[in-house]
């Protein structure tokens, strides 16, 4: 399996924490995942080796516009087999070894969509809610885009809409069209809103 993670980036104060997290998250993966920061200024982009710079329109949600711009640049229907696209906000973190754990859990399979669970944090204090990777949560406000990894040939067919619940709408669309290809990994977690705003 290969992973391309798209990170809408606008919080430079989280750069070092994100880089430290990433070094731990990729340990043990069979092929080193790529983290691409999508930025709206050259200064922000200078923090990252893999980056895309976009000009933000005034009438779009910044995170979803950046995610779509990265998908337009990177995700093609002809992408190699076994490549998955994921999304991470710049105040979220993956657990150490997350990609190796996904590979182990999905060994011998080719799921279309992989869903992990989410610890919802109160800004570096305490987790206040867990959103579990389960079929009953595949709807708006019950899953965030930091929880899913979508196979490239499937992701090439989808883009985010322009509203606050676009990640939930995306998972609803994916579930409606590809539910038999979902794999749920409730034991694996992303930490949502754990870094400073």
Is 90 exceeded by the pLDDT of residue 69? yes
CA atoms 163, 168, 174, 176: torsion sign? negative
Q: Is residue 80 part of a domain?
A: yes
How far is 92 from 120, CA to CA, in rounded Å? 9
Q: 6 with 189: CB under 8 angstroms?
A: no
Of residues 78 and 186, more confidently modeled: 186
The answer as to whether 152 is a domain residue is yes
- pLDDT by residue (tens digit) across 4-19? 999 999 999 999 999 9
Domain limits at 139? 2-192
Residue 57 maps to which CATH number?
3.90.550.10
pLDDT band of 79, cuts 50, 70, 90: low
55 in any annotated domain: yes
Which residues make Cβ contacts (< 8 Å) with residue 74, sequence separation at least 6? 4, 6, 36, 85
User: What is this structure's pTM?
Assistant: 0.95
Q: Is residue 197 part of a domain?
A: no
Structural domains counted in the chain: 1
Count helices and strands in the chain by DSSP H and E runs: 6, 9
Of 88, 120, 94, which is closest to residue 27 (Cα–Cα)?
94
Q: What are phi and psi of 75, to 5 degrees?
A: -100, 110
Q: How would you write 94-146 as a 3-class SS string?
A: ECCCHHHHHHHHCCCCCCCEEEEEEEEECCCCCEEEEECCCHHHCCCCCCCHH
- pLDDT class for 91, splitting at 50, 70, 90? very high
Using DSSP, state whether 180 is helix, strand or coil: helix
Q: Using CA atoms, how far apart are residues 112 and 174, in angstroms rounded to an integer?
A: 9
Q: How far is CA 54 from CA 7, 26, 43, 69, 158, in A?
A: 13, 26, 12, 7, 19
* Assigned domain for 83 exists: yes
- pLDDT at residue 144 above 70? yes
81 domain-assigned: yes
- Residue 175 belongs to a domain: yes
In a domain, 30, yes or no: yes
């Amino acid at each position: 399996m290969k992973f391309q993670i798209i990170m809408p980036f606008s919080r430079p104060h989280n750069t070092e924490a994100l880089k430290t997290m990433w070094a731990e998250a990729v340990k043990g993966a069979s092929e080193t995942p790529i983290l691409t920061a999508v930025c709206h200024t050259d200064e922000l982009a200078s923090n990252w080796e893999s980056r895309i710079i976009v000009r933000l329109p005034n009438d779009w949600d910044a995170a979803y516009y950046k995610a779509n711009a990265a998908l337009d640049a990177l995700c093609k229907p002809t992408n190699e087999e076994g490549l998955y696209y994921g999304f991470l906000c710049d105040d979220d973190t993956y657990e150490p070894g997350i990609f190796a754990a996904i590979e182990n859990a999905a060994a011998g399979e080719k799921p279309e969509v992989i869903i992990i669970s989410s610890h919802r944090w109160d800004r570096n204090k305490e987790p206040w809610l867990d959103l579990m990777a389960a079929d009953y949560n595949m709807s708006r406000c019950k899953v965030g885009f930091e929880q899913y990894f979508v196979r490239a040939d499937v992701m090439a067919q989808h883009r985010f809409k322009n509203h606050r619940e676009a990640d939930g709408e995306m998972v609803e669309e994916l579930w409606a069209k590809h539910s038999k290809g979902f794999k749920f990994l409730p034991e694996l977690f992303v930490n949502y809103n754990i870094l400073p705003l």
